[in-house]
A and B are shown apart, each in its own frame.
Chain A
Amino acid sequence: MHTPSGNSHQGTVPSTPQEVVRHGLERMTSAGPLFRGTVIVLGALFALGIVGFIIRASQGFDDRLPWGYYAAVFGYFLTTAQSAPMVAIALRAVKAGWRRPVARVAEMWTVVGVLNLLWFLPIMALVPTIEGRRSLWVTRPIGAPHAWDLLVVLFLAVCGLGLLYTSALPDLAAVREKGSGFRQRFARTLSSFWRGTRLQWNVLYGGIALLGTFYAMLLVFGHALLSTDVAMSMVPGWKDAIFPAFHALSGLQSAVAVVIVTLFVLRTWGGYKEQIHVDQFWGLSKLLLAFSLLWFYFWFSGFITFWYGRAPTEQVLLRYLYFESYRLPFLMAFFLNFVAPIFLVLLWNPFRKSILGPTLAAAFILVGTLFDRIRIYVAAFSAGDPFADALEHVPAAHLPGVPDILIVVGGLAGAVLMYMLAVRLIPVMAWWELKEGLLLRRVRPFLRRHMTVVAKPD
């Protein structure tokens, strides 16, 4: 299907730059009862989450055991929302043509970085000093680990917002010109200097590439550091070099999953049916398949080394983290992050090349990752004395109480709420990238059929 101008309809309609902006503005401003209802429900749940937090806080910060689920939500935000921009960064780096309707949807999740920064503050009070226990901070710099960890979470949030702002600048300028009301005022404040000169575009391209690189490096480093400081180092005897990499890899898997589910929601209920096509789901499903296989690979690489070694310390850890205390979350994570997405959905071509298939797999993964983060962080907070050399027996699992459930549900609701509010202010589609796509993509006749022609400028 192609327009008279020869532009493909795949993922890039409306087919003129003006239509792109007009349609985008229309979607930004129209808020139906479904949207409003969802915002109210999420707001209420978030408020309940705050109640749960207050209950926990009223019990003090001396005993870290009750805070396990709170920490798990921090790990979950890091793994999902804060990792989601990696999809935009990677796809832009390889100049994938089908990324255009995906990139902003992914990087918009950086707004949750602010929530996670606030969420991290109480955790600082719960992580013990590194003196006398295992730690990545071998040379013990001043403030380690608390100040340095906080700095990483802060930089990640700031860098994410910077990336989002830079990438959204031309679109905010469009809102400044064509929008109205508070949206226009907001856009004018942020994009008053943008005129779209050659120099500004060059700076924009360079800025996105640079900030993307910084964000990627910070994120991977952050996964390694935070997962070690807030989780692994608190379990006596747990020395597992692949764990930080597993945590980061799980972040990449969940990042793709978050983006797929968001695309599905935007397509089904957000009015973006014309922009988001099966191409986007197909492209992302291939990545999801690769990351799901790698999820198993990273897990197995760690597991087989401990299992084979038969060292008593490591055997206790296996029992604690996988086979006894936290068996249920582990089995759920194993099934939902690996077995179900791959064998039920992604292995099969017709499912992989559909809209519902990848969404189902992504939903499995998001739930599985929540179980996995609960397994990791709750286990870390309930392992007993972090200054001991090794676990001498298998500690019991810590089950959630009502405040924990409120915190988990409220936290998740808060993150989604932030995203939903952000899309009212910042276009959730990168209009300028869609417009660029219109210029660089054609459908042309080739002998007796039509072919898509994709141009890739340097």
Chain B
Amino acid sequence: MAKRSVLGLFKDADSAANGVDALKGLGISPMDYDILTGMPYPDGAFGEPHTQHKLFVFPLVGAICGLAVAILVTAGTQLSYPMVTGGKPILSVPAMAIISYEATLLGAILFTVLGIIFESRLPRMQLGLYDPRITEGYIGLAVSCDERLLGTTEEALKGAGAEEVKHN
């Protein structure tokens, strides 16, 4: 059965939460609907399941990569050009530590940013069913449902207080 997208637009957060309740009542899985808002609402405010993510792994991997590259570069450059300066040893650990520290954090930051984009499921080429009013305070409920449930879903959203319901 073909999947169809439905977007219900709610003027206030209470009716949007009612909309989510209505979708649950229809037995629609949380995987099949998304709440679109113009600002962050607290986790689970609409009764949706809490978001799970693995963002914290990214900085850890980035930090390890950054540290490894830094040790390689700082040790490598000193050994490749072994000139004693200022009476310090060829492999000067305190000096290496400073550059390694920066590189570790740079790696962590770069990987975090990649992680944020990846975990946010961005970039997204097509917006899909969307309405610019969402960034003006409206709340959108984007539902993906079987074609046979299209009418029921639209009715449920309207019943919950949606100001407008559209589908593709």
Contact = CB atoms under 8 A, between A and B. Distances in A.
Are A and B bound to each other? yes
A245 B157 CA distance: 63
B87 interface: yes
A36 interface: no
A307 B21 CA distance: 66
21 contacts: A303-B94, A308-B88, A310-B86, A310-B87, A447-B13, A447-B17, A447-B41, A447-B45, A447-B46, A447-B47, A448-B20, A448-B21, A448-B44, A448-B45, A448-B46, A448-B47, A449-B42, A449-B44, A449-B45, A449-B47, A451-B42
A182 interface: no
A449 B47 CA distance: 7
A447 B45 CA distance: 6
Interface in B70-112: 86-88, 94-95, 98
A193 interface: no
B140 to A, nearest CB: 16
B14 interface: yes
Interface string B29-66: 00000000000011111110000000010000000000
Which has the most chain B C-beta neighbours within 10 Å: A446, A448, A451? A448
A303 B21 CA distance: 62
Contacts of A449: 42-45, 47
A301 B20 CA distance: 56
A304 B94 contact: yes
Nearest to A307: B94
Interface pairs A-B: 6 shortest CB-CB: A448-B47, A447-B45, A447-B17, A449-B44, A310-B87, A448-B17
Interface of A: 303-304, 307-308, 310, 349, 446-449, 451
B107 to A, nearest CB: 16
Contacts of B43: 449
B14 A447 contact: yes
A369 to B, nearest CB: 24
Contacts of B21: 448
A156 B104 CA distance: 42
B25 to A, nearest CB: 14
B66 to A, nearest CB: 16
A308 B13 CA distance: 61
A448 B98 CA distance: 49
Contacts of B86: 308, 310
A446 B94 CA distance: 53
Nearest to B41: A447
A446 B42 contact: yes
A303 B97 CA distance: 13
A310 B44 CA distance: 59
A448 B13 CA distance: 10
Nearest to A348: B56
Contacts of B17: 447-448
A354 B20 CA distance: 34
Contacts of A446: 42, 45
B165 to A, nearest CB: 21
A446 B21 CA distance: 15
A310 B43 CA distance: 56
Which has the most chain A C-beta neighbours within 10 Å: B87, B94, B98? B94
B67 to A, nearest CB: 13
B121 to A, nearest CB: 23
Contacts of B20: 448
A74 B20 CA distance: 64
A451 B13 CA distance: 15
Given A448-B17, A449-B42, A449-B45, 14 more contacts: A304-B94, A308-B86, A308-B88, A308-B95, A310-B86, A310-B87, A447-B14, A447-B17, A447-B41, A447-B45, A448-B20, A448-B21, A448-B45, A449-B44
Contacts of B45: 446-449
A447 B46 CA distance: 6
B23 to A, nearest CB: 13
Given A447-B13, A448-B47, A310 B42 contact: no
Given A308-B86, A310-B88, A349 B44 contact: no
B48 to A, nearest CB: 8
A446 B14 CA distance: 9
Contacts of B98: 304
Interface string B8-24: 00000110010011000
Nearest to B50: A449
Nearest to A304: B94
A292 to B, nearest CB: 16
Nearest to B13: A447
A350 to B, nearest CB: 11
Contacts of B41: 447
A447 B94 CA distance: 54
A448 B20 CA distance: 10
A290 to B, nearest CB: 16
Contacts of A304: 94, 98
Contacts of B94: 303-304, 307-308
Nearest to A449: B44
A417 to B, nearest CB: 43
